[in-house]
Amino acid sequence: MSRCSLKSWLLAATLLAGLTAPGLAQQQPNAEPISTAVKDFKPVTADMLLKPDPADWLMWRRTYDGWGYSPLDQINKGNIKNLQVAWSWSLTPGATETTPLVHNGVLYIFNYADKVQALNAATGDLIWQYTRALPAKLVAEGGNPLAKRSMAIYQDKLFVATSDAHIVALDAATGKVAWDHTTADWTKGWRYTSGPVIAHGKLIQGMTGCGNAEPGGCFITGHDVNTGEELWRVWTIAHPGDPNDGTWNGIPLESRFGSSAWVPGSYDPELNTVYYGTGQPYPWIAEMRGTLPKKEGAQNNALYSDSTLAIDPDTGKLKWYHQYLENDTWDLDYVYERILVDLPFNGETRKALVTTGKLGIIEAIDRVNGQWLWAKETVPQNVVEKFDPKTGEKTIRASAVPHIGQTTVNCPADPGSRGWPATAYSPKTQLLYLPLNEFCSNTTPLPLDPGQAYTGGGRATFARTTVPNSDGNIGRVDAFKLADRTPAWTHRQRAPETGAMLPTGGGVVFTGTWDRYFRAFDDTTGQVLWEVRTNNAVNGFPITYSVNGKQYVAVATGNGSSQMKALATLTPEIGSPDGGSVLWVFALPDK
Amino acid sequence: MSHAPLNLPLKGGGPALGPRPEGRPAKRVGWGLRHRAREQVEPRPGTFCATLPLSGGGLRWGLLFALLIPALALAQTPYVQDEWKYGTRQDGTQLHYCVDERDPDLPVARKIGAAIAGALLLEGKEHTVGEDWSGEDIDQIYQVLLETCDVFLGFKLIADVYPEWLTITRGYYRGSYVLVTANADWKSLADVPLSQVIGGTIGTSADIRLMQYLESLKPAERWTHFPVASDETALQDVADGKLAAALVWGPSFWALQKANADFAKLRIIALKPLPPSTMDVGAVLLARETFLRANLDQAIAALSGDGTIEGILKGFGFPATPVR
């Protein structure tokens, strides 16, 4: 065989392998990528993360400040009516909550059950594919734990938090595994549902699924980006030795659960501080977990649940915390995105951190020291009766506290007036855009009686119902001016809101709904400028990017998200297909 | 969290699944009803409905069918990927029953499953599930009932906790929660000094009743109470002296005391002043399997009446009684 013919044979064999490998890749442990490599891959530098090219989408909310805003303006109010499908790509069916990343014309997408693909962002052609060989039992159990909301990219690596509680670094050019670090034992219930944040050269990752398989709560870890080695760990529940160990009503560490960190944090490079949110303690009902009734002389606010944690990314030092909801007994997480924005407050400019928990209350604190600044309500809620105007301390309405043996009406219901679909902030309009839903719950604590280790979050029935005197509209998009704390506009509709918000420099705001609409609003008026009916519920994080000067908008659709299914119980007349996860990419027609 | 689906613990959650047995013959009754339920899926506000009332053996099938229709039309089944691949078992000569290898009553459940199949004049096919199970999600039970078995043994009869697509048979045994201590002198909870710490397995009916009782007392008259992650953890804490006494599921204590030498020194004392805390245990199946449900109830009633179940329980020295 001549040298030339040998090369041809090898090429043919390689191509054949590429064509047949998808099936093989699902069977082999950590299968190799199936096809080609990214040509002329340009490493992502720290400077790129600090000031990303408008053409790229390099992290979950595009920028460290968590705004979810893109300055791209080729698609704008004047021409958005012409927006059309550029290409689409079928994703693995299943819970789909994904955020594509884009760098230098390559789009990276996480599929249900830990398949990662690199696609040509202009054409949708597959470049490489990585399929993780998940434990068969985990795959069989399926559901939301196999979805991921985000990934991270830095230098030449794409970082993926896996469903079996590993962190994996893939060569962003080829999809080959660079390193694989085991953080926790998935058989004990630990899992990742979102990806990491890269901050000051460190990889930061939050853990979820922290039931009492391993009591003591969740944690946020810092890792070496080159090896995956764990550098530090911050527990999201105060442990013995922590100054807030005494906030659990006297119950021992072995009986403290929850406080998951299941959404990526934000990062302020100037303060070199990472901000992570935490969820509620487990089980959800405080009486059941022993933090109610309050023991004499004890504290029972259950730190660090429902808080913002300010963490030094280099050392893992907890600089400060701010707790939004003490002793949560409704499953009302405060875990979501932290929007870092400087705002006027009492005649001065404050470095603010704005977040909105499931209660739908927009709350601002000072991100330098955690001092509370202000709060504003959006949807109907009956849990918080009033705020202390100086400290932000909430007075909880006693009638909304669930008790064993009683059914209590609380609004919003446990999936929250906002769930994981993220809010976004536009510097162009200075408006915060929120995907919201109006509903309540008849909450009845119920026994677990497991006979086995308690590993879940709950124990109550949350019979979701409409708010009193509802007009039937569940879904809602609000625009809110942060500078003067005034509402700008509200769009209401029957279908629940299921997508994250994407405002752009073109003056439009994208989001999606349970009834399969992907929609664009005028960012200042709330007028619907464009909408398209997709194949399934729109419940991913829309992004926008450009390749060779052409702007694209991408969003994933698909059924299976637990939050979405919970909302859907309120609109039984709106059906969506069981399967059919798809990445949709839109663009203006070529001239 | 949460972002997670509502967790319905019931018996420790759904089993992990193995591959579908090759060429497995099957019995699946009520197929027409099954299709009807799928086509008329209409979720309603609220996540769960009340557990269907126990029929005993006396309800006429037609009446039961009529009662079930509205509920089934409303039943929203969990999302199962590629549900179409789960075919209809056509063989009416076998009863596929699942048992969970993590359950403390595993040997008892196996015998009872076989006895039920025999009473129905069917060939019993046992499937042991639960290995490497990691989560706690009632949806998993839907999949295992689609894929593996007609009926799944070992579920407690608790009102209002089962989703509408699932139903539970009448109980085949009645177990108790027991108060366990290492102290040789105490005869009941009343003897435990208030200075001591007592525990209970988190969120169980018995622990909830204990907390309600404690809340009814003046603070100075209460024991310090800790919810504990599991029966095994509670027993270990008692053995280690972290807890003076713990309230656990009797069958768990029965099984764990055999398996762990640390627990040999532990013993049961009376719950007094608390009343006894009992729970019936039965089997779950898909709510649409109405004909099978009626027959299972009749079989369990017959096995309870003729002493078969009592014999099984006594044979193992199992701490439970038949449900008459």
Q: Whose CA is closest to A489, among A500, A477, A504?
A: A477
Q: Which of B1, B237, B242 to mutate to test the interface with A (most CBs of A within 10 A)?
A: B1
* pLDDT for res B129: 86
Residue B119: partners with Cβ closer than 8 Å, 6 or more residues away: B299, B302, B303, B308
- B188 in A contact zone (CB under 8 Å): no
Task: Give the count of beta carbons closer than 10 Å to the beta carbon of residue A46.
Answer: 13
Question: Residue B225: its chain A contacts at CB < 8 A?
Answer: 290
What residue type is A84 in one-letter code?
A: Q
Beta strands (DSSP E) in A98-214 are 101-103, 106-111, 115-120, 126-131, 152-154, 157-161, 166-171, 177-182, 197-199, 202-206
Q: Edge to edge, what strands does the sheet with A202-206 contain?
A: A197-199, A202-206, A219-224, A230-235
Q: Enumerate the β-bridge partners of residue B98.
A: B127, B152
**CB atoms < 10 A from the CB of A345, how many?**
15
How far, in Å, CA of A51 to CA of A66, rounded? 13
| Closest Cα in chain B to A213 | B229
Question: B238 contacts in A (CB within 8 Å)?
Answer: none
The widest CA-to-CA distance across chain B, in whole angstroms, is 65
pTM, to two decimals? 0.84
CB contact under 8 A, A254 and B237: yes
Q: Which among B43, B202, B215 is the nearest to A288, CB-wise?
A: B202
In the structure encoding, which two tokens stand for residue A380, read together? 């109907």
Inter-chain residue contact B48 with A463, CB threshold 8 Å: yes
Average pLDDT over residues A523-542: 97
Contact A579 B82 (CB under 8 A): yes
Query: Which residue in chain A has the smallest CA separation from B105?
Result: A451
Q: Chain B contacts of A441, Cβ < 8 Å?
A: none
Q: Residues of B with CB below 8 A from A578's CB?
A: 79, 83
pLDDT in tens, B96-109: 999 988 889 999 99
Residue ranges in chain B modelled with pLDDT below 50: 1-75
Residue A529 region, left (φ>0) first, then alpha (ψ -120 to 50), else beta?
Answer: alpha
Residue found by looking up tokens 């649409």 in the block: B288
Contact B143 A140 (CB under 8 A): yes
A344 strand-pairing partners: A349
Return residues 20-49 of B near A (CB < 8 Å): 41-48
Chain B CB contacts of A262 below 8 Å: 1-3
CB-based contact A246:A256 (threshold 8 Å): no
What is the percent of chain B where pLDDT is above 90?
52
Nearest to B109 by CA among B156, B164, B177, B159: B156
Whole-Å CA distances, A132 to A15, A31, A150, A176, B6: 22, 7, 16, 11, 27
| Beta-carbon count within 10 A of B159 CB | 10
Closest residue in chain A to residue B228, using alpha carbons only: A255
Could you tell me if A253 and A215 are in contact, meaning their C-beta atoms sit under 8 angstroms apart? Answer: yes
Q: Which of A193, A405, A447 is opposite residue B204, by nearest beta carbon?
A: A447
Instruction: Point out which residues pair with A321 in neighbouring strands.
Output: A309
Cβ–Cβ below 8 Å for A333 and B202: no
Question: Is residue A428 within 8 Å of residue A503, measured between CB atoms?
Answer: yes
* Pairing between β-strand B94-100 and β-strand B123-129 as defined by DSSP bridges: parallel
Q: Give A258→chain B minimum CA distance, Å.
A: 7
pLDDT in tens, A11-40: 343 333 333 333 333 333 444 445 689 999
C-alpha–C-alpha distance, residues B27 and B90, integer Å: 5
Distance CA A524, CA A506 (A): 11
Q: Stretch A28-57: mean pLDDT, rounded?
A: 83
Contact A463 B10 (CB under 8 A): no
Least confident range of A206-215, A287-296, A547-556: A206-215
**Contact residues for A484 (Cβ-Cβ < 8 A; gap 6+):** A344
Condensed to tens digits (0 to 9), the pLDDT of residues A290-313 reads 999 898 899 999 999 999 999 999
Mean of the pLDDT values across residues A261-267? 98
Average pLDDT along chain A: 90
Contact present, A520 and A78 (Cβ < 8 Å): no
Q: Is the dihedral of CA B10, B16, B18, B20 positive or negative?
A: positive
pLDDT per position as a tens digit, A343-382: 999 999 999 999 999 999 999 999 999 999 999 999 999 9
Residue of A26, A115, A141 to mutate when probing chain B, most B C-beta within 10 A: A141
Q: Which of A94-103, A483-492, B5-14 has the lowest mean pLDDT?
A: B5-14
Between A99 and A217, whose confidence is greater? A99
Q: How far apart are CA B151 and CA B137, in angstroms?
A: 17
For residue A70, the distance in angstroms to the closest alpha carbon of chain B comes to: 27
pLDDT digits 0-9 by tens, B229-238: 889 999 999 9
Length of chain B: 324
Residue A44, classified by CB atoms within 10 Å of its CB into exposed (0-12), middle (13-18) or buried (19+), is: buried
The residue-averaged pLDDT of A476-491 equals 98
Measured in angstroms, the CA of B155 and the nearest CA of chain A are apart by 9
> Which element (helix H / strand E) includes A583?
strand A582-587
- What was the pLDDT predicted at B203? 82
Q: In the structure, what pLDDT confidence band is assigned to residue A283 with cuts at 50, 70 and 90?
A: confident
Facing B224 at nearest CB: one of A250, A331, A454:
A250
Q: Tell me which chain B residue has its CA closest to the CA of residue A249.
A: B226
pLDDT of residue B43: 27
The answer to whether A149 and A195 are in contact (CB under 8 A) is: yes
- Inter-chain touch A454–B229, beta carbons under 8 Å: yes
Which residues have C-beta within 8 Å of that of residue A355, sequence separation ≥ 6?
Answer: A277, A308, A324, A334, A336, A337, A338, A339, A362, A363
Least CB–CB distance from B134: residue in A138, A193, A444 = A138
Complex-level ipTM beyond the 0.95 threshold: no
Give just the sign of the alpha carbon dihedral A304, A306, A308, A311: positive
Of A142, A189, A289, the CB nearest to B202: A289
Cis peptide bond prior to A281, omega within 30° of 0: no
CA-nearest residue to A186 within chain B is: B134
Q: Encoding tokens for residue B144?
A: 């295992």
Residue of A144, A185, A448 to mutate, interface with B, max B Cβ within 10 Å: A448
* Per-residue pLDDT at A21: 35
Residues of B in contact with A465 (CB under 8 A): 45-46
3-state secondary structure of B318: coil
Q: pLDDT tens digits for B158-183?
A: 877 777 888 999 999 999 999 999 99
- In A458-507 the beta strands, taken as DSSP E runs, fall at 460-465, 475-481, 486-493, 502-503
DSSP A297: T
* Most trustworthy range by pLDDT among A31-40, A139-148, A333-342, B197-206: A333-342
Q: Inter-chain contact A578–B16, Cβ cutoff 8 Å?
A: no
Please answer yes or no on whether B227 and A288 come within 8 Å at the CB atom: yes
Q: Which two tokens stand for residue B289?
A: 């399997």
